[in-house]
Structure 1
Amino acid sequence: MKRKKNHFENKTALVWKMAIGSAFSWELAKLVGSDHPYLAPLSVVLCLQTTIDQSIRYSFHRIVGTIIGVILTAYLVSHLDMNGWILGLIMLGATFIAKWLRLDETVLHQVALTIVLIFTFERKSNDYALDRIVDTIIGAVIAILIHMFLFPPDFTKKAATSFEKLTRQLSEILLELSHWIQLEWGREKAKMMEDKINLFSQELHNTKDALNMSSKSLKFNPFSKKHESILSMYGMEIKKMNQGYQYVSTIVGTLKEWEKEGQPSSYDQMEVGNHLKTLSEFFENLEVLQQNELKKEKETDLQGLLDLLPSKMLLNSQPSYKLYRDSFYLETKKLLKSLL
């Protein structure tokens, strides 16, 4: 529901930006004497990309491509016959020059587009080539300014939603692992848990992408300081999710092999299950925007669990299934150290 709302808000902002930017750019182009003011709003529409950074890059490539196309085409068009073969030869030469200069692929597209339009309109209006350069610059600049100061793109909420979903998934996996050893031993839940961990891995990848996109969306955003600090915290917390993924992947393998060997002692079932429940509670409450008091409380729980692990390993001296029990405690100890 939140994702649909954010998507709707982004589309609404884009509608307003295109309308306002087109109006201002048209009037400004007319003000500077353009006979083809429609070229300015055309640039506004094209240069309004997903993020400000992408808009700046696209605008630069569009301006460079337009200038190159005009320089290489305007003179030739007025002295050559207008037909498809001439158009193709001019485009081939101009785009190869742009490629030789190692310019971006977007620039190549803009060079080709400019050649087609100049080839079509320059004979009808001698001012078209100059207007195209000036109006393109006007439209690109207005698009960037509007993108920066009118509802600037910010995908922090989207990243937060994705992260919250991720923490719930990991918490549920840990809780199910606890139920497996305490209540459902012998039901061969390994395959089901492996499938859930694979889904978690995909969501982890999606969340990293969302955080990356959010970070890019704040570049050149004049109002982004608060959200930059939030994203920085998410960046640190995602490392804990990585550790959690490695942990559950290993623990499922350990429990799978342990289940094949037989029934663990009631002591092992109780202790292993309780450790997994504690970890489940920790990840359930792992939210960057929560109150610091709650977070410190959960960290204290993990520290207490870490302090108890060595003594629990020594207390439980039963020789049966020692390999699996010790493997679980060692992996848990490694995870706890990475979380604290």
Structure 2
Amino acid sequence: MNTIKLTMLEKISLILKMGIGSAISWELAILFGSKYPYLGPISLIICLQATLIQSIRFGIARIVGTIIGVSSVSILASSLHASGWSIMVIMLVSLIIPLILGANSIMLNQIALSVLLVLEFEHKLHGYGLDRIRDSIIGVAVALLLHILLYPPNLTKRAIAEVEAFPPILANKLKSLATWLETGASQKNYFNLEMDLLRKKMFEAEEKIKKAELSLKFNPLSKTSKPLLHERELLLNILNQVGNDIDVLFKIMNEWSKTGSLTKESMQAWIQIFTLLESALHNWNEGKAITAITFNAILANKKFHFPAMWHAQHIISTLKQHSRFHNFI
């Protein structure tokens, strides 16, 4: 599972939940007759993850793994002498059935941990196995309640901020194309590399939206956050279309320049087109209407002119079709 970087506020919230939750789960474990109340806080700390859905998964894995581990030791340990080999046999037997049934790595780890600790402590600490099951349930329950009620994890804002940064970047790419033509369309440039990095960032933003959607499961604040995420997902799809058009425009211009048929007049015409496209993208991002734009290009080479003109017009039609703020607010 990918690690999610937490903000300072989220880290402080997590620390407070660990401190408050440990105290509550300890006292509840004692209240319910536990001789080993530290097992409650241990389960709580393990269960407190970056998002609610992760916490639920860890909590289920902790409880089920503990039950299977305790049961396996109770059934098998009496017939085996304590040794490294007996630990191996009990652990393998305990893990094989959950593995066949599709248990994930988290649950398998919890089963193995329970087998090892219960096998070691059950004979030394009377009632350790049952206390481990009960206190694990207490710790997980407290962790989930705290996560839901006190500043529930929400990755929406960072996902939105990631997507909102792309329109100015794409506009800057159009400006770069105009500058590149002004300087003579040199073959030594970094445009492809920059577009590759941008596509990678846009893919990462898409993944962050998915993670943010997962963070909203069982989150009481999800009613307001879900529509915002859906809007930015649509926005990202539009920006991907614009980015693809910009990428193709560069490739066409680059190939055109290599043939030697890209005249100074054509360069000047396309510099103007890229400047108009840049302005249109800025206006669109600010919520302004995209007015009819006439591209005055010199028809010097049909092979390159028509495909380039199509992609330039496609950027405008994409922006017109999807009004930035009318559709997303």
TM-score, normalization: structure 1? 0.85
Mapped to 2, the partners of 1:254 and 1:64 lie a distance apart of 59
1:324 and 2:311 equivalent?
no
Q: Which of 218, 221, 225 pairs up with 2:219?
A: 221
1:249 and 2:243 equivalent?
no
Q: Deviations over 1:120-175 (max 9, x none)?
A: 11102231111111111111111111111212111122112322332332121111
| Counterpart code for 2:256 | W
User: Counterpart of 1:203?
Assistant: 201
Q: Deviations over 1:238-263 (max 9, x none)?
A: 01121122112111111112222244
Mapped to 1, the partners of 2:117 and 2:111 lie a distance apart of 10
Q: Deviations over 1:170-213 (max 9, x none)?
A: 121111112223x2224335x32112111111111121122121
Mapped to 2, the partners of 1:38 and 1:219 lie a distance apart of 29
Matches within 5 A, 1:1-340: 7-78=7-78, 80-181=80-181, 183-188=182-187, 191-260=189-258, 261-264=260-263, 266=265, 268-284=266-282, 294-295=286-287, 297=288, 300-301=289-290, 303-305=291-293, 308=294, 312=296, 319-339=299-319, 340=321
Contact 1:178 1:272 in 2 (8 A): yes
Structure 1 residue 72: Cα displacement:
1.4
Say which SS state the counterpart of residue 34 (structure 2) adopts: coil
Mapped to 1, the partners of 2:13 and 2:283 lie a distance apart of 33
Mapped to 2, the partners of 1:90 and 1:281 lie a distance apart of 69
Say which SS state the counterpart of residue 102 (structure 1) adopts: coil
| Counterpart code for 1:228 | K
Structure 1 residue 325: Cα displacement:
2.2
Say which SS state the counterpart of residue 165 (structure 2) adopts: helix
Q: Deviations over 1:212-248 (max 9, x none)?
A: 2111111211012222111111000001121122112
| Counterpart code for 2:49 | Q
Say if 1:17 and 1:281 are closer, same or farther in 2 by CA, change over 3 A.
Answer: farther
Structure 1: state its 5+ residue gaps. Answer: 288-293
Q: Following TM superposition, where does structure 1 have runs of at least 4 consecutive aligned residues deviating by more than 6 angstroms?
A: none
Structure 1 residue 334: Cα displacement:
2.4
Mapped to 2, the partners of 1:110 and 1:282 lie a distance apart of 56
Mapped to 2, the partners of 1:168 and 1:6 lie a distance apart of 26
Structure 1 residue 6: Cα displacement:
5.9
Contact 1:78 1:123 in 2 (8 A): no
TM-score, normalization: structure 2? 0.88
Q: Deviations over 1:33-57 (max 9, x none)?
A: 1111111110111111121011111
Say if 1:186 and 1:80 are closer, same or farther in 2 by CA, change over 3 A.
Answer: closer
What do you get for the CA RMSD once the two structures are aligned?
2.2
325-334 vs 54-63, greater mean Cα deviation: 325-334
| Number of aligned positions between the proteins | 315
Mapped to 2, the partners of 1:32 and 1:156 lie a distance apart of 39
Structure 2: state its 5+ residue gaps. Answer: 322-329
Structure 1 residue 282: Cα displacement:
4.3
Structure 1 residue 274: Cα displacement:
3.2
Say if 1:253 and 1:6 are closer, same or farther in 2 by CA, change over 3 A.
Answer: same
Say if 1:70 and 1:236 are closer, same or farther in 2 by CA, change over 3 A.
Answer: same
Structure 1 residue 284: Cα displacement:
4.2
Say if 1:286 and 1:28 are closer, same or farther in 2 by CA, change over 3 A.
Answer: farther
Q: Deviations over 1:53-74 (max 9, x none)?
A: 1111111121111111111112
Mapped to 1, the partners of 2:222 and 2:299 lie a distance apart of 58
Mapped to 1, the partners of 2:161 and 2:19 lie a distance apart of 30
| Counterpart code for 2:184 | W
Say if 1:329 and 1:265 are closer, same or farther in 2 by CA, change over 3 A.
Answer: same
| Counterpart code for 1:320 | A
Say if 1:284 and 1:155 are closer, same or farther in 2 by CA, change over 3 A.
Answer: farther
Contact 1:77 1:123 in 2 (8 A): no
